[in-house]
């Protein structure tokens, strides 16, 4: 299962509430969550990462907000289960991928990369970086999950087709709005443009609505704060053939705790 961007304390609390039962009910073999917004809505700390690992998350992926908490820098050097974007320029701390054993003993590779369209920094080419890394990882396992953290829908869709047949899944993150285009591409790669968000839904992508709306109105800097109130849980279930690495099924999960819309597969 891939959990959409966990936003602040509300997102962490909801994940802690739901994950134990999902692990048992769905017999989850591996749980990956994007955690770049898990600490106060911007960034992640060693303590928050430890909290996510303790509740059953196996790998934490990230994105451009990974660096927002300075204490994460030395932590990245020693905690291989917290991934930075593979194609971040220069020589940043941490790593962009890892291979680990699932609960049933199957080797699984997880990769994190960022798109360049509308990106806040000059990133290395994600297509070339992922092509090289996927070739390297396939020597270890055919089961490869890619978190592609990107703004532009077109870039995410292009990445799905680019990696089709080479990885098990391409899961888009960053926009915090779950898309309804989950599919298995012809080469056997599961794809969705965005997994969505786990956090307060009466918000603007997890942040207080009045603050964000005012910023659009006056264009002045403002401090973003995580919203309160009813929460939502967004995730994607994947069923992958361990021998070939081809996806057999992909199913999105969308749930709101106040009786809101729930698509098939909701908790």
Separation of CA 73 from chain center: 19
Q: Across the chain, where does the E strand assignment appear?
A: 2-3, 5-6, 32-34, 59-61, 97-101, 107-114, 144-149, 169-173, 183-184, 190-192, 197-200, 231-240, 247-256
Coil, helix or strand for 109?
Answer: strand
- Phi, psi values for residue 84, rounded to 5°: -95, 165
Quick check: is 65 catalytic? yes
Candidate list 65, 149, 174, 176, residue with the active-site label: 65
Q: Would you name the residues annotated as active-site residues? A: 65
């Amino acid at each position: 299962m891939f959990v959409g961007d966990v936003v602040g304390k509300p997102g962490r609390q909801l994940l802690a509430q739901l994950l134990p039962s999902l692990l048992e009910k769905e017999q989850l073999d591996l749980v990956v969550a994007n955690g770049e917004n898990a600490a106060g809505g911007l960034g992640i700390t060693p303590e928050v990462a430890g909290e996510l690992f303790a509740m059953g998350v196996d790998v934490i992926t990230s994105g451009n907000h990974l660096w927002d908490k300075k204490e994460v820098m030395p932590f990245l050097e020693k905690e291989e289960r917290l991934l930075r974007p593979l194609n971040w320029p220069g020589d940043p701390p941490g790593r962009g991928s890892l291979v680990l054993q699932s609960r049933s003993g199957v080797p699984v590779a997880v990769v994190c990369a960022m798109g360049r369209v509308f990106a806040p920094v000059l990133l290395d080419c994600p297509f070339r970086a992922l092509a090289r890394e996927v070739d390297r990882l396939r020597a270890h396992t055919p089961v490869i999950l890619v978190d592609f953290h990107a703004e532009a829908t077109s870039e995410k869709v292009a990445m799905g087709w680019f990696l089709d047949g080479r990885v098990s899944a391409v899961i888009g993150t960053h926009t915090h709005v779950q898309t309804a285009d989950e599919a298995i591409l012809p080469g056997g790669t599961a794809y969705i443009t965005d997994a969505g968000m786990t956090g307060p839904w009466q918000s603007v992508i997890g942040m207080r609505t009045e603050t964000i709306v005012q910023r659009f109105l006056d264009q002045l800097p403002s401090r973003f704060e995580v919203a309160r109130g009813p929460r939502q849980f967004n995730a994607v279930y994947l069923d992958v053939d361990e021998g070939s690495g081809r996806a057999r099924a992909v199913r999105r999960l969308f749930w709101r705790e106040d009786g809101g819309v729930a698509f098939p597969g909701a908790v």
